[in-house]
Structure 1
Amino acid sequence: MKGIRRGVWLAALALLGTGCGEREALELAPGLVAQAQAQTEEAQADTQTEDLMKPRPVAKPVGLALEVDNGVGTPLRVRAGQTFFINQIDLRAAITATEDRGVDGLRRTGDFASLAWQGTALADADPTFSLNADQTTYTRRRFYRSSHWMQKPSIITVMPVDARGRPTGRVIPLNLGSEDRRKFSDDFFIRRMRAIQWTRDCGSATSCAGAHAFEEEALVEVRNARTGATTFSLSPDTRALLVDWTARSGAPYRIPVEQVQSSTWSYGFNIDITPVTPPRADGTYAPGSEVTFRMTFRDGAGKRLHPEGSLPTYNEFLSGQVESGLQYYRGFSDAATTYYRRKHRECNLSASIIGPAQSIQPLRNIVEMEDFLGPEESISIGTPERDGVYAQAMTVPPANKLFGGAYDPTHAGWDAPVRDTFTNKLPLNAEPGTYLVTVKARRIYLGEDVAASRTIEIQVGTRQHTEVELTTGKCATCHTEGGELGKVLHALDNRATCATCHAPLAFELEGPIAVRTHFVHSRGRFDAPLQQCSSCHVKQETTQRTSKSACLSCHTSYPESHVQKFGPIQHMYVGGGRESFQQCTGACHKTHPGSGF
């Protein structure tokens, strides 16, 4: 249309310029000129409409994610004219080695060599080795903490500069605090500093004798800026951010900055879930029926991030073709580890259903790897007969394509089309009540790294709304000032939905939410005494189910009598192997010293 309008207008101008006077031209082609004028006015109106619809800087400050890898800043593209605050910083230094030195090589070479490494100690070791892609060797992980640079309070400053390195704005100070939050007020809710040794060529699942492929890695992770974070905007001549850290002061990192004037999408991230399968006349779904849902991902202004009916393929994501910033699982190239390594960057997009609400409880039966690689897209997590609750989950792309592609040399599953719908088959014996349907995802776009979740309810077998009775609570006592559950993790504050996906997985036994909560809070900066179970548990009886996973997800040791009876600790998250979720006994541990009950 624009080309046609331009042609008509040029034709009219040509008539005006053939030697005839303006009056003669108008007499010769009054219709043509009138059409040109009308179409010009229409084009101007269209342009104004298009300008109004173009994504503009949003009023709310946008949280930026900064990253430096081995001294090199990851280039940052941002929307010009936007107001920002620093919400996330990831610093990483890594070296390789051919002999087992723990992480001692990091103090001699690499980007963190100048840090104070005194006091470094092995904190946790995972003797459960993971099978490598070659199907013949295994990887072992060891986790180190307590270095002086990890313990000592430190400051990061961020200064915008032009192409010549001259300041273009004020310096932004960021307080990283210390391991003990109570002793030093910091600017981020989550602060984690550690070192990891990876042994990548262990000959068996229990021994690394003769190994010679080691990686030593040090990480700084701070995220979820506290309420009241310093906001700033970038002047048009800003070309980089200089990031200086007092732990290695005087050697600032340079993060290149590109400011874009217009963008296809806006900042922000929202999710819609719409039932495609209509309910019965009374608004309920019948047990035994299949229910399909559509998930729609949008930016903060409500614009779709994908066409209706489809989502990007996994290979499109891997090759950087997803301009909207919608993320898929990144664990194949950037392995995440509960608490110790970049779990926020795993970016596993998933959809799930659990119910009925009144029966929701922790799931302790192990989900096998075969369930992820089987023919069904939705994975059965819980069944009424076995678990007392129905739960299904689906990764996006589906696990049989996502993880199946990793084991397929051709990676054919990674090219498979991806739908924006998922289907759950309700069991014939589904208990009547309210069922919770959830989609969680992550988006990284123009410097913003943000999670989003959405939960809707459906009624199965009854119109009567039913409620979940959670055994833990009081989370908001600590999760405040930027650390609210609606902002951290999956940005999901409905804890009733957590049990759906967080069951023990054969390849990730630490999956259950109770295990992760115990582990993270016992190793992290939890303010209350660890033995005080009443800080989180609402009833004493909820602390009395004893198992290896319940006890050893928090405790790092147990008495020799327990070693003799239950075996040595073999897993840093759950204590042992597949038996770790079975109840040890109903006769012991009726009380916990200092529990508060």
Structure 2
Amino acid sequence: MTLSFKKCVLMLPVLAVVSGCNLLDTSDVEGTRGRGARAFDPYSSSASGAISLSLLWYKGCAMLPTGEPVTKGDLNLPDYGATCYNLNNGYPSERNPFEPVEPFARMIVTPGELYFLREFSAMDVALARFEDPNDRRTPAAWMRMESLFKDLDWSGLSSGRDAWKRLQPQTFMRETFYENAAWMLATDDTFLLEVLDADGNVRTGITYSRRDFLAESAVTGRTRASFAVTGLQRPLFPGDPTPRRAEGYDALEFATAVKVSLANSTNPFKSFTMPDLRGEGVIRLTWSQLPLKPFLFPVTFQPSSERLATCYELGPDGLATDVPTPCGFGLKQQVQVARPANGNFFNAGETVDFVVSLQDGDGHGLHPRDSMPSYFDYLGEGSNGLAYFNEQMLLTWRDSSASESGFKVVGPLQNLKVVNGDYVPKDYFAYPAASEPQFYVPPDIMAVAGGMAVRPTTRYAVPLPPDAKPGTYAILLKGHRNYEGERLNRLDPFFFQVGQAAPTSYPGRIGNCQVCHNGVGSLSNVHHGVSVDHVETCKVCHHDDVVGHVSDFIHRLHISSPKYAQNKGDCTLCHLTRESTLRPSMNACVGCHPGTHGTEYFDLQFQELNSPPNAFGNCANACHVTTAPAEHVLPAR
């Protein structure tokens, strides 16, 4: 770190370090960040009123969000496995059979605290078992007759969407989704949560319904039954029966999965007090569709007074000191930006230096001033809950909410535009330019000197391009924290000026999300945790088919959801300008109109983004030129 930067840091803070400030003067605000009563803001630690609880279960055992299996300790639990699967042992193959191990992790809960169930996710997987890519029937038979969910009502099951996802150039995963099983379509099922002491006595209980969760059906992709083949080249023609292994894969990888996942509580007022116990106990969750097979989550009761002082007090500059203090719940993200050379704004070609500070809801530093916990610390529950990029949680658990902590620098805001047909944006500056953020711990950590023992820096320097356009730029922090049963995701923007002191704002092409996403179901409390005020930042990551294109999955999710009661042909609710609706593509339209044109344009979906024509091509300029589709209502000219 250069001396000049250290001098700059002493002059911090220069900009406001709270997210959602009035810099952009947005009109459709969410009030209390959209979560209803402030007492239930899940990010606010001791001010929350109730702690959000996530219960994760994988192949018969409770699991921490790190992928580590939870031990049953000394509890007498005959139905809980003596061995469990550790998702961090890698993907199964002949060289790595992915054998179960003796579980070792502990799930800590705090006696006397109010909790509400925010998430329940359970999964069974058959890995490297069914290895005929053309056989869809055998995986379905395993789900219905052998899986840990075989006692569900599978009547009506049908083979649905066959999706090809690009993993890297010329490499794909094909996933066949199974749909319409009776258990998937149910709406009146319940979940009885009970807390038991070490002797098996029920000390408290509460019943949740499926309607108590925003994401509770298969349309969101969290709940799924699917057969996936990874490591394929593209098919040569529709129905091509010959699987071709992509370069870099020793063998194709097969996964048949059933995952039940309910998330994002719509009623955090339905809370319960964790019993005043010590030592070991169990949270038992009984699903009305599986009444004889409850899900067990061994827990360790630890009073807040016994927490070790592993967090840090903050100094006057808002950064961590070396004074230790116990951690609390919640998550805050802050950024301090070094003062520009001219004192007001950065110029094109200059470097933006900034310090990241991650804290609990009480304002205690989760890490020292200059470094974050190592990847070893994260896996061993020694990171104060900070979660890092975890490839196995993405590939095996199929959950992008569990990792990916990092940042992205983008701007100017007025130039943010949906990227079509490219891997990098052309209309605005983005660092990194690729769709994924700058992870605090990179995916290739093992190739870095020191490997998983490296402690990531908190200080970053991002050079602006020599032709950087003037306006307001944003540092987008994407954070994840898993702490004593609480699992939180959030995305916060922090702003700085380039080329001019006058602030600029988003283009205002899309919005109105708060019409449906309000209260506890607001965007601030869903998935990545970004406020509706900053929803136009979604496009800066979701612009290719690796992480998913925003125009595809947003349409697919909402049009398929029974919760979206609006006229699905009325584009004016979300599209605020006519311009934003006038670039239809196969990618944008297939979310609402699967199967359009049959196989006529089959090849387009497999073309590389930088090799037109492809699925991102502008259909309006090609065929749909004269008028918009009659069934669509577009904003006025």
* 1:295 maps to which of 352, 356, 367: 356
- Alignment partners' CA distance in 1, 2:508 and 2:206: 41
Greater share of residues in helix: 1
Distance, in Å, in 2 between the alignment partners of 1:583 and 1:131 is 23
Would the alpha carbon gap of residues 357 and 168 (structure 1) be closer, same or farther in structure 2, given more than 3 Å must change?
A: same
Q: 1:431 aligns with which of 469, 487, 497?
A: 469
| CA offset digits 1:99-127 (Å, max 9, x no partner) | 54132211111210111111112222223
User: Is the deviation greater in 229-238 or in 302-311?
Assistant: 229-238
Equivalent position of 1:351 in the other structure: 407
CA 1:389/1:84 → structure 2, altered by over 3 Å: closer, same or farther? same
Q: How far has the Cα of 1:299 moved from its partner? A: 0.5
| Structure having the higher Rg | 1
- Cα gap change, 1:396 to 1:582, in 2 (>3 Å): closer
C-alpha separation between the residues in 2 aligned to 1:396 and 1:412?
A: 23
Structure 2 residue corresponding to 1:87, chosen from 114, 118, 121: 118
- Aligned amino acid, residue 328 of structure 2: S
Q: Where does residue 404 of structure 1 map in the other structure? A: 444
Give the alignment's Cα RMSD to 1 decimal. 3.3
Task: Confirm whether residue 271 of structure 1 aligns to residue 333 of structure 2.
Answer: yes
TM-score normalised per structure 1: 0.76
- Structure 1 residue corresponding to 2:390, chosen from 330, 346, 368: 330
- Structure with bigger RCO (C-alpha 8 Å, 6+ apart): 2
Contact 1:443 1:451 in 2 (8 A): yes
Aligned to 2:100: none
Question: Which residue pairs with 1:124 in the alignment?
Answer: 161
**Which of 54, 62, 75 lines up with 2:51 in the alignment?**
62
Three-state SS of the structure 1 residue aligned to 2:395 is coil
The alignment partner of 2:208 has SS state of strand
- State the alpha-carbon separation in 2 of the partners of residues 396 and 548 from structure 1: 23
1:359-378 equivalent positions in 2, closer than 5 A: 359-367=415-423
What do the CA deviations read for 1:263-285 (whole angstroms, capped 9, x no partner)? 23100100011003x11345111
**One-letter code of the match for 1:241?**
I
Q: Summarize the Cα distance change of 1:404–1:162 in structure 2 as closer, same or farther, 3 Å threshold.
A: closer
Partner Cα separation in structure 1 for residue 389 and residue 347 of structure 2: 33
**SS, match of residue 419 in structure 1:** coil
Tell me which residue corresponds to 2:310: none
Q: Equivalences for 1:83-232 in 2 at 5 Å?
A: 83-96=114-127, 97-98=129-130, 100=135, 101-128=138-165, 130=167, 139-153=173-187, 154-169=189-204, 171-176=205-210, 186-192=211-217, 193-199=223-229, 204-206=233-235, 207-208=242-243, 214-232=254-272
Change in CA separation of 1:215 and 1:284 when aligned onto 2, cut-off 3 Å: closer
Q: Of 420, 425, 428, which aligns to 1:389?
A: 428
Q: Secondary structure at the match of 1:482?
A: helix
Q: Is the 8 A contact 1:128 1:140 kept in 2?
A: yes
Give 2:61's aligned residue: 72
* Selected match of 2:574 from 536, 551, 566: 536
Instruction: Tell whether 2:536 aligns with 1:496.
Output: yes
Equivalents in 2 of 1:515, 1:334: separation in Å?
Answer: 20
CA distance in structure 2 between the partners assigned to 1:77 and 1:595 by the alignment: 51
**Contact 1:336–1:343 (Cα < 8 Å) also in 2:** no
Question: What TM-score, normalized by structure 2, do the two folds share?
Answer: 0.71
1:309 counterpart residue number: 370
- What is the CA deviation profile of residues 338-381 of structure 1, one whole-angstrom value per residue up to 9, with x for unaligned ones? xxx43322x211211222222221122533xxxxxxxxxxxxx4
Measure how far apart 1:158 and its partner are. 0.5
Matches of 2:117 and 2:612, distance apart in 1: 41
Q: Which residue among 226, 250, 255 is the counterpart of 2:292?
A: 250
1:499 is paired with a residue whose SS is helix
Query: What stretches of structure 2 of length at least 5 have no aligned partner?
Result: 1-43, 64-69, 71-106, 218-222, 236-241, 246-250, 308-325
Percentage identity across paired residues of the two chains: 22
Which portions of structure 1, spanning 4 or more consecutive aligned residues, are displaced by more than 6 angstroms?
A: 209-213, 394-397
Provide the rounded CA distance (Å) in 2 between the counterparts of 1:275 and 1:157.
48
Q: Aligned AA for 1:325?
A: G
User: Displacement, 1:300?
Assistant: 0.8
Identify which range, 189-198 or 240-249, moves more after superposition: 189-198
Give the Cα–Cα distance (whole angstroms) in 2 for the partners of residues 194 and 536 of structure 1. 27
Match of 2:559 among 504, 508, 522: 522
Shift in Å at residue 302 of structure 1? 0.5
**Ranges in structure 1 where 5+ consecutive residues have no aligned partner:** 1-54, 177-185, 368-380
The 10-residue stretch of structure 1 (526-535 or 349-358) with the greater mean CA deviation from structure 2: 526-535
Q: Is the 8 A contact 2:420 2:616 kept in 1?
A: yes
Q: Per-residue CA shift, 1:23-47, capped at 9, x if unaligned?
A: xxxxxxxxxxxxxxxxxxxxxxxxx
Once the two structures are TM-superposed, the CA of residue 57 in structure 1 deviates from its matched residue by 5.8
Query: Secondary structure at 1:516's aligned position in 2?
Result: helix
Return the letter of the residue paired with 2:120.
I
Counterpart code for 2:400? K
Query: How far off its partner does 1:450 sit?
Result: 0.6
- 1:551 corresponds in structure 2 to 589
Find the residue that maps to 2:203 and give its secondary structure. Answer: coil
2:281 match = 239
- Equivalenced residue count is 497
How far is 1:524 from its partner?
3.2
Taking a change above 3 Å as real, the CA distance of residues 497 and 397 of structure 1, as seen in their structure-2 partners, is: closer
Query: For 1:209 and 1:359, how far apart are their aligned partners in 2?
Result: 41
Alpha-carbon offset, residue 414 of structure 1: 4.4
State whether residues 110 and 274 of structure 2, in contact with CA within 8 Å, keep that contact through their aligned partners in structure 1: no
